Amino acid sequence: MAQMTSLERIEAALTGGAVDFAPVSLWRHFPERDQTAEALADVTLEWQSRFGFDFVKLMPPGDYATIDWGAESSYQGSTGGTRQTTKFPINSIEDWAKIKPVPIDRGRNREVIEAARLVNERLGGGIPVLQTIFSPLTIAMKLSDGKVLDHMRQQPDNVHEALAAITEVTRQMTVATLERGAYGIFFATQCATTDLVSVAEYREFGAAYDLQVLAAAGASRFTLAHIHGSNIMFDEMKTYPAHALNWHDRRTDVGRRSGIERSDGRRWYARKRHGHHDVPTSRRPGPRRHRLPLRPPRHDRPRLRHADHDTRGECAGRGGCGARVALSMRDRGGDEPPLRRSRGG
């Protein structure tokens, strides 16, 4: 088979077609270089230039969706590169009334949209760029230091009104970033786990709003849905309108093989792993499942097997931000540390 471009490889993989090698990607946070569009674009392109991955997952700060509602944060040395929220906009049930739609053409939201545009423009459109979009309930968790879980059980109407506003802004973010150059989205939910809510609660306060955001992502050519944490609601999420799923296959009872079987092999899957950099594999949908070969590393860039050593303390570590992905794509450390009610993420 003739060598494919990254774009051709991704498109073929997502439709179950033949590929020359399994697509691969890796991502991490870049603390203190992720606060402006220019800085985030520059460091993202440096990372991509170093390794030449098949797609780029943009890594804005994990709290970006909360800043324009008044949250404040600082980087305090986390090995995963995540920021610590120092001011939460929501401290009481009454505070949810303050959550109204905010504009996306200014503030932190604008910076994140612009960063994706810059990265895509400088790559010449030849490498898929995925924008990170958090689910509305995940954003509510981050806004409230996890208090939303108690509040939604005590006064659900207050929380529903706030979630509706968060969803509207998130939909606008999704549409705008796709219009301005992003190839697709990385849709992350950190709440689809029975460690936090029941399935019924997630359907009411999570999925009902997730699906509205995903409906706005109709122009996305690669939607990668991420299910964070352990005890995940895999059977709920597998029905989402996404091209691939990503989850911690070593922290849950859903391994790669069981995930494929539970979905009847209908789609590609991404796996999320921590502390490993092993050989990625993938399977195509349908009965003709097969193992895809790894793309051999180019001699003019660092080999992937060296990445753990080269970036130790930055992307490979505990609770950090990365994941091993997809169709055999990988990343490390965690998109965010697991959400805990005492800290909110």
CATH number of this structure's domain 6-310, picked from the four choices 3.40.50.1390, 3.20.20.210, 3.60.10.10, 1.10.3720.10? 3.20.20.210
Do 196 and 149 contact (CB within 8 A), yes or no?
yes
Q: How confident is the model at residue 74 (pLDDT cuts 50, 70, 90)?
A: very high
Amino acid, single-letter form, for residue 22 = A
Q: Is the Cα dihedral 319, 271, 11, 214 positive or negative?
A: negative
Q: How many CB atoms lie within 10 A of CB 49?
A: 10
Predicted local confidence at residue 267, as pLDDT: 53
Place 25 in a pLDDT band, splitting at 50, 70 and 90: very high
The token pair that represents 195 in the structure block: 């460690």
- Per-residue pLDDT at 284 exceeds 80: no
Q: How far apart are alpha carbons 286 and 80 in whole angstroms?
A: 37
Query: Alpha-carbon distance 42 to 18, whole Å?
Result: 33
Region class of 163: left (phi > 0), else alpha (psi between -120 and 50), else beta:
alpha
* Higher pLDDT, residue 310 or 198: 198
- Write down the pLDDT at residue 261: 80
Q: Categorize the per-residue pLDDT at 197 as very low, low, confident or very high, splitting at 50, 70 and 90.
A: very high
Output the pLDDT for position 254: 87
Check whether 293 has a pLDDT greater than 90.
no
What is the band of 318 on the pLDDT scale with cuts at 50, 70, 90?
very low
Rounded-to-integer distance, Cα 29 and Cα 319, Å:
12
Q: What percent of the chain has pLDDT over 90?
A: 68
pLDDT class of 196 with cuts at 50, 70, 90: very high
Does residue 155 surpass a pLDDT of 50? yes
260: pLDDT confidence band, cut at 50, 70 and 90?
confident
User: Between helices 156-179 and 107-122, what is the axis angle to 10°?
Assistant: 30
For residue range 211-220, what is the model confidence (pLDDT) as tens digits?
Answer: 999 999 999 9
Q: Is it the case that residue 285 has pLDDT exceeding 70?
A: no
Q: Which residues of 64-85 are buried (b: 16+ CB within 10 A; e: fewer)?
A: bbbbbbebebeeeebbbbbbeb
Nearest to 66 by CA among 186, 195, 166: 166
Model pTM? 0.81
Domain ranges in the chain? 6-310
Element (H, E) at 85: strand 84-87
Burial of 250 (0-12, 13-18, 19+ CB in 10 A): middle
pLDDT of residue 258: 84
pLDDT tens by residue, 55-71: 999 999 999 999 999 99
pLDDT at 343: 35
Sheet architecture: strand order including 244-248: 56-57, 129-134, 184-189, 223-227, 244-248, 268-272
Q: What percent of the chain has pLDDT over 70?
A: 76
Give pLDDT tens digits for 173-189: 999 999 999 999 999 99
Q: Is the pLDDT of residue 274 over 50?
A: no
Residue 161 has pLDDT above 90, yes or no: yes
Residues linked to residue 8 through DSSP beta bridges, in sequence order: none
